[in-house]
A and B are shown apart, each in its own frame.
Chain A
Amino acid sequence: EAEVAQSPRYKITEKSQAVAFWCDPISGHATLYWYRQILGQGPELLVQFQDESVVDDSQLPKDRFSAERLKGVDSTLKIQPAELGDSAMYLCASSLEAGVSTDTQYFGPGTRLTVL
């Protein structure tokens, strides 16, 4: 069964350091999402890609966060510099294509980030 892959699964870093997360969506999925989930809350969208284009990054803190999906397949989310408040689970999801009737989003296992 096809799955969304993410790495690393866990990351511990110190404040002001740079961190990067990688996501490989289900093959053939055009839409890729990055979410942040704080403990005890639901996931919140950070950025949405359609192929290699950003279609929604309104909730992305652009002074420190960046995301790219250069070839429209895998994606990288970067934080520089990391702050204590960035500690959370970072989830990647993919769907066939946003807006079609079967655009169910499938999630990866997530990356648990701890900033010390």
Chain B
Amino acid sequence: EDQVTQSPEALRLQEGESSSLNCSYTVSGLRGLFWYRQDPGKGPEFLFTLYSAGEEKEKERLKATLTKKESFLHITAPKPEDSATYLCAVQFDRGSTLGRLYFGRGTQLTVWP
């Protein structure tokens, strides 16, 4: 059973069309939730860390929010260069090696002009 679920699997947006990606997790005892961006054939690039419900972080056109059981990555007025796979990962407090990340399968975002 997947502990981290991302939706949708793929998302196509027109340039300027805002939307949100979702990441939900099933295990209790969240230590931290991480968002990464991954371009084809490259390693994941760190975007944000969220630690507690209600926390928000922003970077350019991206804004990440966290509730008790899920996180959203909001993309405002996206550009073609925002096209990538966005990965969500969580660290748990209990029943897990300290520091270990559990990743979702990612959302593949395509922004067309």
Q: A interface vs B, CB < 8 Å?
A: 4, 6, 31, 33, 40-45, 48, 55-56, 91, 93, 95, 98-99, 101, 103-110, 112
Question: What separation, in Å, do the CA atoms of A106 and B104 have in the docked complex?
Answer: 17
B46, B51, B100, B104: the one contacting A42 at CB < 8 Å is B104
Least Cβ–Cβ distance between B41 and chain A, in angstroms: 7
Are A45 and B101 neighbours in the complex by a CB distance under 8 Å?
yes
A44, A56, A104: the one contacting B103 at CB < 8 Å is A44
Are B105 and A91 neighbours in the complex by a CB distance under 8 Å?
no
Give the top 4 A-B pairs by smallest Cβ distance, nearest first. Answer: A98-B99, A42-B103, A107-B43, A56-B97
Closest to B36 in A: A107
Closest to A109 in B: B43
Closest to B2 in A: A42
Contact size range, B: 20 to 34
Are B105 and A42 neighbours in the complex by a CB distance under 8 Å?
yes
Contacts of B46 in A (CB 8 A): 104-107
Least Cβ–Cβ distance between A113 and chain B, in angstroms: 13
User: Beyond A56-B97, A95-B99, A104-B34, is A42–B43 a contact (Cβ under 8 Å)?
Assistant: no
Closest to B96 in A: A56
Contacts of B41 in A (CB 8 A): 110, 112
Question: What separation, in Å, do the CA atoms of A78 and B71 have in the docked complex?
Answer: 36
Are B103 and A48 neighbours in the complex by a CB distance under 8 Å?
no
A31, A42, A91: the one contacting B99 at CB < 8 Å is A31
User: Beyond A40-B105, A41-B105, A104-B34, is A110–B43 a contact (Cβ under 8 Å)?
Assistant: yes
Please indicate which of the listed interface residues B43, B49, B100, B101 has the most CB atoms of chain A within 10 Å of its own CB.
Answer: B43
Question: What separation, in Å, do the CA atoms of A80 and B103 have in the docked complex?
Answer: 27
B4, B99, B105: the one contacting A99 at CB < 8 Å is B99
Question: What separation, in Å, do the CA atoms of A82 and B3 have in the docked complex?
Answer: 29
Least Cβ–Cβ distance between B103 and chain A, in angstroms: 3
Q: Is B89 an interface residue when CB atoms closer than 8 A count as contact?
A: yes
